[in-house]
Structure 1
Amino acid sequence: MTGTGYWIELFQAQQRLGGGFLITRRYVLTALHCLRGLATLDDRVDVVLADGSRLAGEVCRRDEEADLALIAIAGAYDVRLPIPRAGVAHGGDAWHGPYRPAAAEVHLRGQVDSGAAKYLCEGGAVIQALQLTVHQILGDYSGYSGGPVVKGVPGDHEPVVVGILLEQVPDRVAADRAANVLFAATIGEAMRRFDQFDVEHLLDVIDPAGSTPGQSRRARSVLQRTAKADPAQQEAEERDEPKVATVAAAAAAAESWFERIDEWSGRHILDPAQVAELKFTAAKAAIEGHTRGNSS
Structure 2
Amino acid sequence: MTQASCWVELFRSQQRLGGGLLLAPRYVLTAAHCLRGLAEFDEQVDVVLADGNRLDGQVCRRDKDADLALIMILGASGAARIPRTGVAHGGDRWHGPYRPASTEVHLRGEVDNGAVRYLCEGGAEIQALQLTTNQHLGDYSGYSGGPVVKGTPEGRDQVVVGLLLEQAPDRAKADRASNVLFAATIGEAMRRFDHFDVEHLMDVVHPESAPRRHCDQLEGRSDVAAIASAESWFLQIDAWARRQVLDPAQVADLKFRVAKMTIERQLGGETA
With structure 1 as the length reference, what TM-score do the two structures score? 0.73
**Partner Cα separation in structure 1 for residue 263 and residue 83 of structure 2:** 29
Quote the residue 1:119 is aligned against.
118
Quote the residue 2:38 is aligned against.
38
Quote the residue 1:272 is aligned against.
245
**Partner Cα separation in structure 2 for residue 76 and residue 67 of structure 1:** 29
Greater relative contact order structure (CA < 8 Å, 6+ sep): 2
Residue 5 and residue 281 in structure 1: after superposition, are their counterparts in 2 closer, same or farther (change >3 A)?
Answer: farther
1:28 matched to 2:28? The reply is: yes
CA contact (8 A) 1:206 1:287 kept: no
Cα distance, 1:198 vs. partner?
A: 3.5
**Partner Cα separation in structure 2 for residue 52 and residue 281 of structure 1:** 37
CA contact (8 A) 1:131 1:181 kept: yes
Aligned residue runs from structure 1 range 1-296, under 5 A: 2=2, 4-80=4-80, 82-199=81-198, 206-207=214-215, 269-272=242-245, 283-294=257-268
Partner secondary structure for residue 87 of structure 1: coil
CA contact (8 A) 2:86 2:243 kept: no
Cα distance, 1:129 vs. partner?
A: 0.7
State the percentage of identical aligned residues. Answer: 63
Partner secondary structure for residue 192 of structure 1: helix
Cα distance, 1:142 vs. partner?
A: 1.1
The code of the aligned residue for 1:168 comes to Q
Partner secondary structure for residue 195 of structure 2: helix
Cα distance, 1:196 vs. partner?
A: 1.0
More helix by share: 1
Partner secondary structure for residue 29 of structure 1: strand
Partner secondary structure for residue 21 of structure 1: strand
Q: Give the length in aligned residue pairs.
A: 239
Cα distance, 1:289 vs. partner?
A: 2.1
Quote the residue 1:247 is aligned against.
none
**Partner Cα separation in structure 1 for residue 128 and residue 9 of structure 2:** 23
The code of the aligned residue for 1:100 comes to R
**Partner Cα separation in structure 1 for residue 263 and residue 13 of structure 2:** 45
- Give deviations 1:220-279, integer Å, cap 9, x for gaps: xxxxxxxxxxxxxxxxxxxxxxxxxxxxxxxxxxxxx9xx98xx96xxx55217988886
CA RMSD of aligned residues (A): 2.8
Structure 1: which 5+ runs fail to align? 209-256
CA contact (8 A) 2:198 2:257 kept: yes
**Partner Cα separation in structure 2 for residue 273 and residue 195 of structure 1:** 13
Partner secondary structure for residue 109 of structure 1: strand
- Give deviations 1:59-100, integer Å, cap 9, x for gaps: 1111111000011111322422x3211111111111100000
With structure 2 as the length reference, what TM-score do the two structures score? 0.79
**Partner Cα separation in structure 2 for residue 54 and residue 192 of structure 1:** 29
Partner secondary structure for residue 286 of structure 1: helix
Cα distance, 1:115 vs. partner?
A: 1.2
Greater Rg over alpha carbons, structure: 1
Residue 24 and residue 281 in structure 1: after superposition, are their counterparts in 2 closer, same or farther (change >3 A)?
Answer: farther
CA contact (8 A) 1:55 1:77 kept: no
